[in-house]
Structure formats: structure tokens, C-alpha cells
Structure 1
Amino acid sequence: MKTPRVLSLCLVVAASLLVGLGPRKTPPNIIIILADDMGYSDLGSFGAEIETPHLDALARGGLKMTQFYNASRCCPTRASLLTGVYPHQAGVGHMVNERQHPSYRGMLNQNCVTMAEALKEGGYTTLMTGKWHLNSRKEEWPLKHGFDRYFGLLDGANSYFGNRPYRPNQKLTYALDEAEYTPGKDFYATNAYTEYALKFIDERKNKNNPFFLYLAYTAPHWPLHALEKDIAKYRGKYRKGWDVLREERFRRMQALGVVGPGAKLPSRAPEVPAWISLSAEEKKGWEEKMAVYAAMIDRMDQNIGRLRQKLKETGEDQNTLIMFLSDNGGSYEVIEGPEFTSEINEASKKPASDPASFTSYEYAGANLSNTPFRKFKRWEHEGGISTPFIAYFPGTIKPGSINHQPAHLIDLMATALDFAGVAYPSTYKGKNIKPMEGISLAPVFRGQKWAGHEALFFEHEGNRAVRKGDWKLVSMFPENKWALYNITADRSELNDLSAQHPEKVKEMETLYNGWATRANVVPFAQLLELDKQQKEKK
């Protein structure tokens, strides 16, 4: 009788032979790189003026998917990415707020299995560095969810230069494996995550086994913190202002085939004034913020280059599948008010290039990042849920490929297990596991026909959407009014067709309601009421 490890290898060899690629010596290493709060157009290969040569090289040598979706917010995306089910099914239907409801536990539940757990069963070494943000209780740390090694931030955000709580009575934790970690004086988070990833790759006990690396950068999530030598590259580059820069990005996106020739650039978001209406001081402040923001992405890209160099040095670059995406669209969030400490409120007024600052690029920066889409992180419009997606796998993915089919991060689990030749479990540690919602992207990567999803679903804080074929139905909380868009003709969601196609609205609303029941989604108004009742009981 074959062992699971041998059986997995046989499956991969057979699959390779079927597609005419020849047998691979071992199942591939699998690397998933996740950016944090990075907008759709923030990479050079997706239209940006930001220098991202290493990610652009992956795109040229691999595949770009232009209609890839996330779950519009940090925690739900991370839960869904790791489990292959929708966030509510994994227990993280909102954030890490702990509630007495199976869909809103604020941590992964026992009826899902992580990619690390599944791949570990198939003989993989499982590594993670970066942002966890799936509950910082010690019993929920990454090593409790299938990872062999971990270094990173357990919480949602922090200073890039050390440990700096930003909310009243807050405790933030960096961790190395199962111990708390104190950053040193030369610490810069983006570099540190990469350095530990390289260290973990070197320290693998059995280098004959493939590895899975989940590298979850915090860049470019606020606070805007970058190294001076990186900031210097971008000083003066944002002097044109957001109106001109959006136009320039949009033209590059069209030339790159990222958006179709019939796409339209919406007017700037209503929260953003005309650039010419700003004072010289206001313009200077935003230019400074954007220079730092660009530097953060640039530094992340440099570190991805370091990772690729390591793979070449170890001779593993030709047998490694790399996938890159962002957890949500650009963030409109403003750092000010009683939810932040007085020290942080003062720090938010400092220039972004000052290491003592604690700032964000707000609506104006997010509107540029999300070119040409509407809305931002947290909403289910394209600006909230669209991510640039790049996949690179020599010998499997044809260089320079581009795909416009809708796909979702629930597909990453299925894809990873498919290439690894590892079966998705129906039970794990005595618990029944929910069926995967995702579909393997292996046919897409191989340039073959991919049936894709009948429909994709979204819900966060009462904002809802369903995507089916060319059509998308979307609503915002608390208005709860459905709008209907033909995404193929109108990706920017400018022309609401709900009045012209009431039968399509009804059809897609029925689909959404069926999914919401199956995924155990609680309407957000009811969830807020439950929160109120829970607070009153205390």
C-alpha cells in the first residue's frame, strides 16, 4: 500500500505527464505573497508609476489575472485564503471581535482546515512570516494552525520600526514561533519578514521535502513608514496631483490590457476635492505621503527580489509556484479621533517621512490606488474587492499570459493542493471539515479552458455583492439598495441597470440569499444588535 506521501508524488507526476510538461522531480514549493491594503493599480505591471521590477518580472514570466477578488478586509481575506471557504464559514465573518456565533467567532473554527495543515499532511514543510490577524490568543497562533515556523505580527497593524500600540489599552505582539519577540533598533518590518522567510527556508530539517511559504507583508498598510533611501526615489513624482496621476495610470492600464478599451475612468471620489483647489501646504503634505507609500511598495518588491534570489541560489526557482495578491483595495482610513491614543493623534500630524509619524494616505491616496474603480477597502464595489493577481511557475505558466475570468482567493487552497497532489480532508483531528468552496486554477495556469464559478459572493459589515458571469449585483449598508452592473462592459460600476433588468436583479438576489443562508451570514443590523445586547450583559 502506498503511503500518502508517495501517492501524492504519483499524482503530481501523472498530472505533469498529462499536460505534456514532463514529470517534475518533486511536488513544487508553493509561495503565496500577500500585500496589505494595496490598491488594484499600485504595481508597474498593473499601471502604477511605482517601481516594482521584481513583481513585474513575475508578471512578464507568468500570468496576470485581471478579475481576481479578495474579501474586502484584512481578517476575512486571511481566513478565506488559508481555508478555501468563505470567511463566515471559517468563523471570521467580520473581524477578530469575538462573538457567540459560529460565523463570527473572530478566529478560525474547528470545521475548517488551513492550507498549512493540509499541505503538512502531504509532507510539506510549512512556513509563515508576516501579519497573522486571525486572533492573537496564544492558542490561535500560527503554529496551532499547521505552520512549522512563524515570525511576524499577530495583530492588524503596528509601527514598521518597532512595537507601538496605537489604540487605548492596546497590546500588540510580534512573535517568533511560540514566543513573543521584541524588535531591535534597526528593525524594519518588511525587511524582517523577508529575512526570517529566508532563514526558515535555510533551516528546513528535510530539504528534500517541498515547502509552503505564506509571506504576508504588512506593506503598504498604514502607518506610512519607509526608509529614507526609498523615499528619496519618489520625492517630486507626485507633484502633478491625483487628478493627472489617475489619468496617467488609467492610460497605462489600457495599454497593458489590464482594463478593456471600452473602460471608463470615473470622476474622482466625492470625498476627494479637485487637486487645483488645494493650498501649497496641502499639496506638499499629500506628495510626501505618496512618496512614502510608494517607497513602502518599492521596498516590498525589493524583498520579493531577495526571495527569488534565494530560490535561484538553492536551485529551487524552477520548481516553485509563486502567487501574489492584496488582501483588499486601497484604504480610505483616517488616523485621528478618540479610537487612537493622544500620542498617535499628535504623531498623525507629523510629515509622513518622519519615523516618529503615524499617518495614512486617506481617501485621496486610496482613490489613486484603486484606479479606475469606485469605493475602497470594506465595500464590495470593485475598489474594495479587486486585487492584482500574479502567478509564476516556470514550465507550467506561459510567460506573458493574461486572463480576464473572475476568480477568488477561495481558489488558492484548491490550486495549492492540486499542484501538491494532496487531498483536501473531509475530517481533521476528529472534526468534520466543510467542503472547499474554491476551484483549482491549475487549468488557467496551464492555458487550458477553465469553467470557473457559477457565482461568487461577498459580504462585509452589511455591504453585499454577487458576481455571476458578466453581471454583478451590489449594495451598501445601511442603504441596502441593490445596484446591477454589467462588469464586462462597465467594470467601473458607473451605469446601474437594475431598473432595466429587474428579472436579473431578482435572479441574482435569490442566488445571494441562498448563499447567505448556506454560509450562515447574519445581517449586519442584527449583528450590531447582538453586539449591543452582549455589551449590556457585561
Structure 2
Amino acid sequence: MAIKLFISFLALSLLCSPTLQLPEKKPNIILILADDMGYSDIGCYGSEIKTPNLDDLAKNGLRMPQFYNASRCCPTRASLLTGLFQHQAGVGDMVNTRPQPAYQGYLNQHCVTLAEALKESGYKTYMAGKWHVGTKPEHWPTKRGFDRYFGLIDGAGSYFDNSSYRPNQKLTIALDDQEYTPEKGYYATNAYTDHALDFIEQNPKDKPFFLYLAFTAPHWPLHALPEDIANYKTAYRKGWDQLREERFERMKTMGILAKDTRLSPRDNKIPAWDSLTEEQKQSWEDKMAVYAAMIDRMDQNIGRIRQKLKASGQDQNTVILFLSDNGASHENITTDGFLPQIYESSKKPASDPSSFTAYGMRGANLSNTPFRLYKHWEFEGGTATPFIAYGPSIVQPGKVDPRPGHITDIMVTCLDLAGGTYPKVYKGNDITPTEGISLVPVFRGKSWKGHEALFFEHEGNRAVRQGDWKLVSDYPSNQWQLYNLKTDRTELQDMAGKEPKRVKEMEALYTSWSKRAGVIPYGELTKK
């Protein structure tokens, strides 16, 4: 009897102990991905573009200014969804099919998606937006763990319909596992959010949900709504030189950049703003107004999601993660690979709804302030992403944490939040171990071991970051450059000649990783 009384007293003491908390309700998780958005394109990362909802998430959450993606759309999505490097997941390059397993162009069966993994922890799983990791119906989101889906299966397209822009191309918008024809008045950014809101509304009250909201904004073509464009009609008259300086100064004030950071010079392929004709200036101002409007509208729709959470009483139990899939895009609409009528429409003003244009290098250089180069390369301009994490009682508010994180961390972070485990086997298939490390300690402001090194490869462009040092090369030169990111975040002073031993050691790390991940040197890959 005494023993029973002691056990009862001990149990009661533990329950009443202030250091022991009863299990909390599993949080909803919303992962928001922008498409081709530059590092400094939102207000809380220095932009003049109005993004009050993202700014509020940052103010009451966490920014990690040294967070990394995979420098290109589908490789990043494959890595983000699986917690693996893109080669391990089967999307080592793009979605073009190749016989090599690491480059097959769709997610393989030796990875699990966030949706598949979180379903094992009792989550309902939803997606709205761009998929781009498998175009055949057997590879669509509903075949990879998502209970509901609405969005663009492919990589890019008009925001107003699903018309094709390349020869012999068919673009697919889908609702669940069926093709969907856009209705009159369709605008992609709004439509993705409309369906995401429906999914949240339909979610069972006793189930936590995971929502992957993958906007196509602000990927080309530059398509925006007139009422949003009007708000930026005169916003870019200062020109790219002054606007880069202004963003740069704001970023230092915010703590996104160290005070001693140097702004990279204007890309040498871009002329000084003052050397342009009035017609050239007006063309760029128009493109930037539309580009800004696309981001503004994305932010408005993020606000709609937040309003829904608040109205349903779920705002205090939802974690929201936001990032971009790569650096800003320098690409233009050309005669190479685009339909003739699409190329002709690229000559129209961007504010014309019938246009199909891009803002090119001149816009991307501003978007990627303070870095050089763009999407596709492994320099900071290609891989640095404006990461935000928000979650009441989970994420410490108002912090800027400079510790480096990576898209592979998202999988294990979500499982950590969900109280789940990463599977060794799924549907009878051995699963490649995740490469990520949970960010929850970072969210809580605690110590975090981080990564021994971070690795990057895309179409022959390579990089490895170890501590403050980054070794990087571009294809086809294949010459290693070395930068100390603590003192030179914008990669302006190559230290390779002064640190040959470090170059050799970091190259060895890269070589070992590339073999383990299944990387095939790009020159060899394209010959096969």
C-alpha cells in the first residue's frame, strides 16, 4: 500500500512540476515558396516593395540571412520536399528525363516527401502552386502524399491561362489528379490561395495540417493586376544604381548584412542608369512596376491565409516558413526555344496583359542586392534565400540569426515540430537518410551544431561552404575561388591564391560529397 501511495504521489508531483509540460497540440505547418524572387525583394530584407504580411512575420519571428537553396527551381523543390540533395532525390538537373538515376527528372522511390512523412504523424497534407518535380500523372502531388492539390504541374506559364510558350509543349494546371481549365478572371497567385483556403476550411478539426504553398510569383512572364501595378508606377524612376544603394543601406540597418559589408559593383554588362535614354528608362520602370506588383499580390495572399488562420482560431498554433527557390533570374524571352508569337509579345510593355516578358539582368541585379550573379550559379546571388520562420511559442520573435541553414533542414524540422520520425523504409523501399538537421533549436534561440559543410552543384557550377569559408566555381571555367564570408559576404576578394591548403582540403570535401550524392560532372553528363 505504501509503495502504491508513493507512486501516485510521484506521478502527481511530475504532472504538477513547472518544468514538465503536458504534450502540446501538434502545430499546423505552412511552407511558402516564392519563385525566382531575389534576396532583397521583400521589405524585411531591404526592399521598397510593400510586403506588410511578410514583414510582420519577420518582426514576430526569425530571419536567417545565411540560408541556402539549390540555385534553380526544380532542384530546390526536390531538395526542399525530401530533405535530400537533389541528385539523391532524382532531380540532379531539371525535369528533362535522363537514364542516370540521379538525373531521371522526377522524384524517385528512395525518398519520401514532406507530405508522405507528415502523414505518418497524423497530418492532413495539402499543396497549392507549382510542382515541377515530375510532369507525368504518376508523379503528380497526389501520388506523393498530398491529400489535395491545385496548381501548375510545370515550371512556368501565363498567370492568366495555361497557354503554351514553347514549341511542342503542353502546360498542365491540375486539381487533385485531374486537368483543370482556368475560368474567366483567373490569376494564378489568387487562384492558388483560393484553393489553399478551401483546403484549410475543409480540414478536419481534429487533424493538424501541412500546407505547401508554392507561388509562381514573381517568375516570368511579368503578369500582374492593374490595381497592383498602379501602386508602383513611379517607384523605379530613381534607377537601378540608386535603388541598389538604398536597399543595401537598409539591409545593414536591419542586421541582414554586417556593417562592413561591401556592395558588389553593378554587373559590368549593365550600363549606368544615367546613360540610358528616356525610352529605355521608361521600359525598365514599367517592368519593375509589374514585377513589384507580383510580389505585392503574393504578400496580399499570404495575408489572406493569415486572416483565415486567425478567424478559425488556428493562428497561435501554426508555424509558417517562407523562402525563395533561387536567386533572381537574369533570363530573357528570346527567339531560342520560345514560340515566335511569344517572342513578339515580349516586346510589348510589361503592363500590357497580353505581353510575355522578363526583367532580365537589369532587374535581377537590383533584386539580388548586395550580391553578384544570379539564379543558376552557386555564388551567393544564386543560392542565398530570404528565409523567415514564424510560430508563436515556437519561434523566438524579432531575431536575425546568422547561422547558415539549408533547404535539406526543412524536412527534419517539420518532423521535429510534428513529433515524427524520418522513415528508413517507406512502402517497401529503402529510404536514403536525410541530409538535414532540425532548425527547432535555432527557432528557440538555443545552441545548434549546424552542418560540418554545405554542398552545391548545378549544371557544373559547384560550391562547398565550411564555417565562414566558401569554395566556389562556375562552369565551364571550373576554377576554384575562395571567399571568407565573414568578412566578404559579397564574394569580392578571391583568397584561393593565398590559401592553397584550404582550397585543397575543401575540394576534397566536395569530391567526397559529390561521389556520395551521385553527381556526374556536367561535361560527362551532357555527352551521354
Structure 1, residues 364-404: CA drift from partner, whole Å, max 9, x if none? 10000000001100000000000000000101212101100
Q: Is the 8 A contact 1:219 1:297 kept in 2?
A: yes
Counterpart mapping for 1:307-386 below 5 A: 307-386=305-384
Point out the structure with max Rg over C-alpha: 2
Q: CA offset at residue 136 of structure 1? A: 1.1
CA distance in 2, matches of 1:475, 1:207: 50
Query: Offset of 1:18 from its aligned partner?
Result: 11
Q: Which residue of the partner structure matches residue 174 of structure 1? A: 173
1:338 Cα deviation after fit: 2.9
Distance 1:220 1:378 in 2: 16
- Looking at structure 1, the residues matched to 106 and 287 of structure 2 have their Cα atoms a distance apart, in angstroms, of 33
Aligned residue among 435, 438, 450 for 2:436: 438
1:216 aligned partner:
214
Structure-2 change in CA distance of 1:113 and 1:19 (3 Å): farther
Which deviations, in whole Å up to 9, do the C-alpha atoms of 1:23-57 show, x marking residues without a partner?
46411001100000000000100000000000000
Corresponding residue of 2:279: 281
Distance between the aligned counterparts of 1:303 and 1:495, measured in 2? 41
Which residue is equivalent to 1:62?
A: 61
- Counterpart CA distance in 2 for 1:18 and 1:464 is 52
* SS of match in other structure, 2:497: coil
Q: Distance in 1 between matches of 2:292 and 2:468?
A: 33
CA distance in 2, matches of 1:213, 1:18: 35
Q: Give yes or no for contact 1:245–1:368 (8 Å, CA) kept in 2.
A: yes
Distance 1:381 1:458 in 2: 10
Counterparts of 1:446-457 in structure 2 under 5 Å?
446-457=444-455
* 2:128 equivalent in structure 1: 129
The amino acid across from 1:224 in the alignment is L
The alpha-carbon distance between structure 1 residues 365 and 22, as it changes in their structure 2 partners (threshold 3 A), is farther
Q: Which residue of 2 aligns with 1:95?
A: 94
| 2:138 paired residue number | 139
Deviates further, 162-171 or 123-132 = 162-171
Q: Structure 2 length as normaliser, TM-score?
A: 0.96
* Residue equivalent to 1:81: 80
**3-state secondary structure, aligned to 1:194:** helix
Secondary structure of 1:457's counterpart equals: strand
Could you give the per-residue CA deviations for residues 472-493 of structure 1, whole angstroms, max 9, x where no partner exists? 0000000000000001110000
1:9 corresponds to which residue? none
Aligned length: 514
Which amino acid letter does the alignment assign opposite residue 164 of structure 2?
P
How many Å separate the matches in 2 of 1:127 and 1:20? 35
Pair 1:47 & 2:46 matched = yes
Letter in 1 for 2:312: T
Amino acid at match of 1:330: A
The residue type equivalent to 1:141 in the other structure is: W
Q: Does structure 2 conserve the Cα–Cα contact (< 8 Å) formed by 1:318 and 1:394?
A: yes
Tell me how far apart the structure 2 counterparts of residues 20 and 168 of structure 1 sit (CA, whole Å): 64
- Judged with a 3 Å threshold, the aligned counterparts in structure 2 of structure 1 residues 350 and 191 are, in CA distance, closer, same or farther, namely same
Q: Which residue of 1 aligns with 2:241?
A: 243
2:167 & 2:136 partners in 1: Cα distance?
Answer: 19
Aligned AA (2:126): L
1:300 aligned residue: 298
Give, in angstroms, the shift of residue 207 of structure 1.
1.8
SS in 1 for 2:66: strand
Structure 1 letter corresponding to 2:106: M
Counterpart contact for 1:21–1:396, Cα < 8 Å:
no
Distance 1:164 1:19 in 2: 60
- What corresponds to 1:521 in structure 2? 519
CA deviation after TM superposition for structure 1 residue 320, in Å? 0.5
- Distance change in 2, residues 1:23/1:232 (3 Å): farther
In the alignment, the residues of structure 1 paired with residue 414 and residue 20 of structure 2 have an alpha-carbon distance, to the nearest angstrom, of 18
1:274 partner letter: A
Alpha-carbon separation, structure 2, partners of 1:19 and 1:102? 52
Q: Which amino acid aligns with 1:328?
A: N
User: Aligned partners of 2:17, 2:448: CA distance in 1, in Å?
Assistant: 16
Q: Distance in 2 between matches of 1:54 and 1:21?
A: 35
CA distance in 1, matches of 2:432, 2:395: 30
Q: Deviations over 1:441-465 (max 9, x none)?
A: 0000011011100000000010000
Letter in 1 for 2:93: H
Which TM-score applies when normalising by structure 1?
A: 0.94
Residue number in structure 1 paired with 2:159? 160
RMSD of the TM alignment (CA)? 1.3
Q: Say which SS state the counterpart of residue 307 (structure 1) adopts.
A: helix
More divergent stretch after superposition (286-295 vs 334-343)? 334-343
Taking the aligned partners of 1:282 and 1:238, their CA distance within structure 2 comes to 13
2:151 is paired with a residue whose SS is strand
Tell me if structure 2 keeps the 8 A contact 1:380–1:474: yes
**Which residue pairs with 1:417 in the alignment?**
415
Structure 2 counterpart of 1:405: 403
Find the counterpart in structure 2 of residue 190 from structure 1: 189
Give 1:107's aligned residue: 106
- The alpha-carbon deviation at position 164 of structure 1 amounts to 1.6
Hey, what's the Cα distance between the residues in 2 that align with 1:164 and 1:300?
22
User: Gaps (5+ residues) in structure 1?
Assistant: 1-13, 531-538
Give distance in 2, aligned partners of 1:45 and 1:475. Answer: 30
Q: CA deviation at 1:19?
A: 11
Match of 1:497 in 2: 495
Give the aligned residue type for 1:120. Answer: K
